[in-house]
Structure 1
Amino acid sequence: MPHSCSLPLLVLALLPTLLSINSQPSQPNAGRQGGEWRLLQASVGISAMHMQLLHDNRVVLFDRTDFGRSNLSLPDGRCRYDSKDTVLKTDCSAHSVLYDVITNTFRPLMVLTDTWCSSGAVSPDGDLVQTGGYNDGDRAVRSFTPCGDGSCDWVEFPNYLSRRRWYATDQILPDGRIIVIGGRRQFSYEFYPKNDDNRGSSSFLTLHFLIETRDENENNLYPFVHLLPDGNLFVFANTRCISLNYRTNTVVREFPSIPVRVPRNYPSSGSSVMLPIDENKDSLDVEILICGGAPTGSYTQALQGNFIRASSSCGRLKVTDKNPSWAMENMPVARVMGDMLLLPTGNVLIINGVEFGTAGWELGRSPVTRPLIYCTADDTPTGRFSIMAPSPRPRLYHSTAALLHDGRILIGGSNPHRFYNFTDVNYPTDLSLEAYLPPYLSPEHDKIRPRILSADQLLRVGQTFSITFQVAGYLEASSLSARIVSPPFTTHSLSMNLRMVVLKSAGVSRSTSDKYVLNVAGPSKAEIAPPGYYMLFVVNSGIPSSAVWIKILSH
């Protein structure tokens, strides 16, 4: 079996077990070694500060409303009227876009209140629930419900939140609610929908951990939050981390501080992922990976024109260990404002960002245009990091990234300015969308690329189901897996609600010469995979299929 972080050797086609090779549907092309970049749209009219993929393969993009006109007009003479806007009271341009992955087209959306530096999650029914922002949007909740006829748009609920939520983090919970944690000078959390318990419908709960972990500017913004299989929340702020029982508002456990004492949250803006949860293992090992950041004082120094080199350190913590400790290693290059995503293979993509400075207006220098792929396997003889092909476009402050159903990575954003500036600046505002195609999308792997033909689309927790798929060439049963991925809400180097579960396999059987049936069990409990929509991939020898969407039901 090929090493889990190596691309498969197609000389395996000479083995007697090779099946006859038939034609495959066309796949996006990717370079053999470092992947490939494709420009999708030279401009969608806005800079994609926030990004969310939905289950109809459309992506909601939005920026902020308080910087003036965008480069995209609202249709039919529509305008936005906002007496509280700090720049334009009447604005006939769009600040949100719906991008269609399949057709590579987009249309403007109408968002009313200010979404600057806000947060979001997808509800169990597949609606984008978006919380907070700035100015008149700091207590707002907005929702977007996918539709097929092009009529859907934002619906807003002003002043819904109990506290201002600017730079907060959202996490979907096992019961389908969303918890909203933190924000600038907000050391508390609350729920959407609002609590109906004896604390009252407008309650919020103080989280003293956020008070304790502030920096000199009272910042520990966009805390890293991951739902653990025991139902508690892993919360990381600057250098410290805890397990939080949000039901009782108690700290269940304080984990060791990350050894390289570099702040990791905004504006130091490292990034975090929870590594895939594998239900085939006897015990559920849960690991958190945190990479990048900016040394203490970087923000203040950058304001004075002194751009300090970011951190190259990555820390990996197995939170399920009895006595967990951080395993530290270094990326090939320092990075702040990088985005981290789980690839269908289970490895981690680190993309976007800069080498010097910090998050904030004009405060980053030396863009890092080469993505990294971090190998999550323990047996990695040649090192965990692989350096990929560079992008022709720097992606700095306010850039975003999302995994798509076909395995590509959608990249957008980069506006390190208070307004849209395209000339006479080091790094012009970028309104484009591009795709990064990892090496697993190279046509040379089409012979062993699975193609899902059918799978149950509605599942209950623990339900066994079958996936029928096709492989034109070699199938390595021992390296075959099915895995589900929740599409995250991405902004400011944070992928909220990102998780991957490797489903428990009950074996694969051949139905015809090139068709197979893989029997798997759905996630064992809602703490492993909360209700909602997931992308289902089949991976053969390190090469993933395109995904189909499935919905895990709440009951």
Structure 2
Amino acid sequence: MAYRPSKQFKKTLLGSGAVLVLAALNAPAAVSFAEEKYHAYKIARPDYTRRYGSWAEVPVPAEYRINAIHAALLHTGKVLLIAGSGNDQKNFDAGTFETILWDPARNAFKKVPTPVDFFCSGHTQLPDGRLLVAGGTARYEVLDGEVKKAGGGMRVKNESPDKEVTLKKGTVFRSPSGIEYVSTSEVTVPRAKREFEISYFASGQMKPWKTKVTAAESRVFVEAREEGPEALTTEAAQYEVVGLTGEDADNVYGLAQKLTTEKQDFQGIKAAYEFDPKAERYVPVAPMKDARWYPTLVGLQDGRVLAVSGLNDVGDVVPGDNEIYDPESKKWTKGPFHYFPTYPALFLTRGGKLLYTGSNAGYGPADKGREPGLWDLETNTFTKLGGLTDPDQLETSASLLLPPAQNQKVMVLGGGGVGESEKSTARTSVIDLSADSPVFTDGPALPQGTRYLSSVLMPDDTVFTSGGSRDYRGRSGSDVLRAQFYDPESNAFTEAAEPTVGRNYHSEALLLPDGRVATFGSDPLYDDEDNTKLGTFEQRIEVFTPPYLHRAGTARPVLGGGSRELDRNGRATFTTEDAGRIVKARLMRPSAVTHTTDVEQRSIALGLTKGSDGVTLTVDVPDDRTLVPPGWYMLFVVDRDGVPSEAQWIQVG
């Protein structure tokens, strides 16, 4: 139908002499003003919102505005927004690290003390509802041309089998020629490994014991005390630790191969914490063995967590040393070895294998670790999967396990070239893991090439996608102010209302328990199309209300009282006056998202049984924990018109 402005709208637009004068003096400005007013009028119309949905900005008090780098939904219904230093080196240098807890039901905010710089950490939901947060920032990058002092990785050796050695930040290493380098962080080197060797004489008698000592090793970043070419070296050498005496001086030393003024990348930390949603605070747990910046944490079927990739404590991509966290012991152990670029998208699939879609977010060579595949953790075998269009444009792409999870279909959307490439793709691809020989096949194209696309699973089995940019970090004013729904059944996109806030790098989106979608963050490189003004971090929160919540005269189905845990048969029963019109139930895992990477969200179809009394409803949860990993979930029921209830929280053990 044609939209006609109301009388009030016409009066506002044309009834003022001042506006007519303005139009005469500056016709383009007047036309732009008129278009904006008309657009605002059009998208507020009920028939528009019923078809496309609507957007609204959340009022955030100034003291709670934050550079949201990470967003996670907790089983209390609150959203944890983590900035750490927020991609701001001044904050990092000052030790100013931030976390905000947002309650969308009351639009209330709370500051949470943040113990370390969680900027670019990894996170995942634990079975008890806590959020594991691990890694973060130890040092900001220094670009080519800005490095004033030679620096690089120092391997610190300890040959003593009797004690570990801790060298504090600021420890001095001296080269054979007398050049001194200073460590930028504390480093602990374990005891050397002592092994006993047993051998025998020809007569069969045992020879005296022999021992073999293998030096232990840790890494630390060092930089020269002074500027100048004297400190540059690309030759291997041994460095004494200034201040050590006696046996310590003999047993502990440094080895370095390359100390230069080349670009120095970000460096990670080993720290790990659990965020307690009830106490609303971070609780320290054992640190990781490897420092990690830009890691992925993925929950496994037994409740443990696998941490992969990231930049280590000297700024190198962790070469494949992965580790597993046990939420019972609060400790880490060695995991299967495999190399991935940073923030790889890994999904737990039926049977326990992990699918790597090839989606990632940034660091690592273009020709290593970027091919999709299925990873068997038990045998540590990786089977590559083909068929993907534009395989060189997977960086900053979105990936998700399509609903319902039982179908075992995974989708990749958009993406761009490696690094600061101008390339972006409109490609979507879907792989059916239940097929005998799964391969990626092309899905419908996005409206344009898009990096940093946010993709959110919805209770009605659609996928809501929004935002992103065509170019690297929104360069050249390339933010995409569009949104759309993908329907897995029809394999097609339909248009949704357009957001008003651009979202590119460092942006997030997640499903709220009331069925809306909240969007956060954005860190553009520039604030103008000519790339002359440095970008400003986007601190506004915008929430999308889907069409199913705008359907006039349709009340949402309501789930009443019921258990927050499953019985021994994997079932839970609820009361509802709407049992007659409810047609399906979905168990939806809450998001933990950063850098377009959300390996947590999944939607599981549940068995549904209606009681003979007409007011009870029993849901049946699959007992396959590779399909339904342990943890807290949102339970939605959906009526015959596609309208979902508000979520009830339920725990799967």
- Matched ranges for 1:219-230 at <5 A: 220-230=341-351
Are 1:544 and 2:644 counterparts? Answer: yes
CA distance in 1, matches of 2:493, 2:354: 28
Q: 1:117 aligns with which of 105, 120, 126?
A: 120
User: 2:301 aligns to what SS in structure 1?
Assistant: coil
How many residues align structurally? 456
- Matched ranges for 1:262-281 at <5 A: 262-264=392-394, 268-277=395-404
| TM-aligned CA distance change 1:94 to 1:118, over 3 Å | closer
User: 1:135 aligns to what SS in structure 2?
Assistant: strand
CA distance in 1, matches of 2:321, 2:357: 14
Taking only the aligned residue pairs, the percentage that are identical comes to 25
Contact 2:398-2:455 at 8 Å conserved across structures: yes
Are 1:532 and 2:631 counterparts? Answer: yes
User: 1:495 aligns to what SS in structure 2?
Assistant: coil
The answer for the alignment partner of 1:8 in structure 2 is none
Question: Which runs of no fewer than 5 residues in structure 1 stay unpaired?
Answer: 1-27, 69-84, 211-219, 279-283, 302-306
The answer for the alignment partner of 1:384 in structure 2 is 492
Contact 1:121-1:128 at 8 Å conserved across structures: yes
- Matched ranges for 1:88-127 at <5 A: 89-91=93-95, 95-127=98-130
Contact 1:94-1:109 at 8 Å conserved across structures: no
CA distance in 2, matches of 1:205, 1:465: 37
| TM-aligned CA distance change 1:229 to 1:29, over 3 Å | farther
User: 1:293 aligns to what SS in structure 2?
Assistant: coil
| TM-aligned CA distance change 1:40 to 1:464, over 3 Å | same
Q: RMSD between aligned alpha carbons? A: 2.9
Contact 1:234-1:243 at 8 Å conserved across structures: yes
The answer for the alignment partner of 1:431 in structure 2 is 539
CA distance in 2, matches of 1:194, 1:488: 19
Contact 2:303-2:327 at 8 Å conserved across structures: no
Are 1:375 and 2:487 counterparts? Answer: yes
The answer for the alignment partner of 1:236 in structure 2 is 357
Shift of 1:327: 2.2
Amino acid at match of 1:155: V
CA distance in 2, matches of 1:163, 1:53: 27
Q: 1:358 aligns with which of 464, 468, 472?
A: 472
Amino acid at match of 1:327: T
The answer for the alignment partner of 2:425 in structure 1 is 311
Shift of 1:463: 1.7
Shift of 1:272: 0.5
CA distance in 2, matches of 1:66, 1:101: 22
| TM-aligned CA distance change 1:548 to 1:525, over 3 Å | same
Shift of 1:157: 4.4
- Matched ranges for 1:185-200 at <5 A: 185-186=317-318, 187-193=320-326
Q: 1:468 aligns with which of 559, 568, 575?
A: 575
Are 1:346 and 2:461 counterparts? Answer: yes
Question: Which runs of no fewer than 5 residues in structure 2 stay unpaired?
Answer: 1-45, 140-267, 312-316, 360-369
Are 1:497 and 2:600 counterparts? Answer: yes
| TM-aligned CA distance change 1:442 to 1:255, over 3 Å | same
Q: TM-score, length-normalised on structure 1?
A: 0.76
Amino acid at match of 1:373: F
Q: TM-score, length-normalised on structure 2?
A: 0.65
The answer for the alignment partner of 2:156 in structure 1 is none
User: 1:51 aligns to what SS in structure 2?
Assistant: strand
User: 1:440 aligns to what SS in structure 2?
Assistant: helix
CA distance in 2, matches of 1:203, 1:195: 16
CA distance in 2, matches of 1:169, 1:445: 44
CA distance in 1, matches of 2:450, 2:569: 40
CA distance in 2, matches of 1:337, 1:437: 21
Are 1:130 and 2:133 counterparts? Answer: yes
| TM-aligned CA distance change 1:399 to 1:445, over 3 Å | farther
- Matched ranges for 1:34-73 at <5 A: 34-42=52-60, 43=62, 44-65=64-85, 67=87
The answer for the alignment partner of 1:456 in structure 2 is 563
| TM-aligned CA distance change 1:461 to 1:398, over 3 Å | farther
Amino acid at match of 2:390: V
CA distance in 1, matches of 2:534, 2:575: 51
Amino acid at match of 2:631: G
User: 2:634 aligns to what SS in structure 1?
Assistant: strand
CA distance in 2, matches of 1:489, 1:467: 28
User: 1:33 aligns to what SS in structure 2?
Assistant: helix
Are 1:177 and 2:304 counterparts? Answer: yes
Amino acid at match of 1:34: Y
Contact 2:526-2:535 at 8 Å conserved across structures: no
**Larger gyration radius, structure 1 or structure 2:** 2
Shift of 1:40: 1.2
CA distance in 2, matches of 1:461, 1:50: 36
Are 1:511 and 2:613 counterparts? Answer: yes
Contact 1:445-1:543 at 8 Å conserved across structures: no
1:298-337 CA distance string (max 9 Å, x none): x344xxxxx44x2111000001100223221311222110
| TM-aligned CA distance change 1:445 to 1:293, over 3 Å | farther
Amino acid at match of 2:67: S
Shift of 1:112: 2.5
Shift of 1:67: 4.9
User: 1:62 aligns to what SS in structure 2?
Assistant: strand
Shift of 1:102: 1.5
CA distance in 2, matches of 1:153, 1:195: 19
Identify the structure with bigger relative contact order (alpha carbons < 8 Å, sequence gap 6+). Answer: 1
CA distance in 2, matches of 1:145, 1:29: 43
Are 1:484 and 2:557 counterparts? Answer: no
1:499-524 CA distance string (max 9 Å, x none): 1100123x334635xxx333331122
The answer for the alignment partner of 2:514 in structure 1 is 406
Shift of 1:66: 6.7
Amino acid at match of 1:530: P
1:439-474 CA distance string (max 9 Å, x none): 111142624x311112321115752332322339xx
| TM-aligned CA distance change 1:335 to 1:248, over 3 Å | same
CA distance in 2, matches of 1:293, 1:323: 25
User: 1:31 aligns to what SS in structure 2?
Assistant: helix
Shift of 1:489: 0.6
User: 2:280 aligns to what SS in structure 1?
Assistant: coil
Q: 2:391 aligns with which of 258, 261, 267?
A: 261
| TM-aligned CA distance change 1:144 to 1:103, over 3 Å | same
Amino acid at match of 1:413: G
Shift of 1:363: 4.4
| TM-aligned CA distance change 1:115 to 1:461, over 3 Å | farther
The answer for the alignment partner of 1:25 in structure 2 is none
Shift of 1:170: 1.2
CA distance in 2, matches of 1:460, 1:141: 33
CA distance in 2, matches of 1:458, 1:235: 32
Shift of 1:94: 5.1
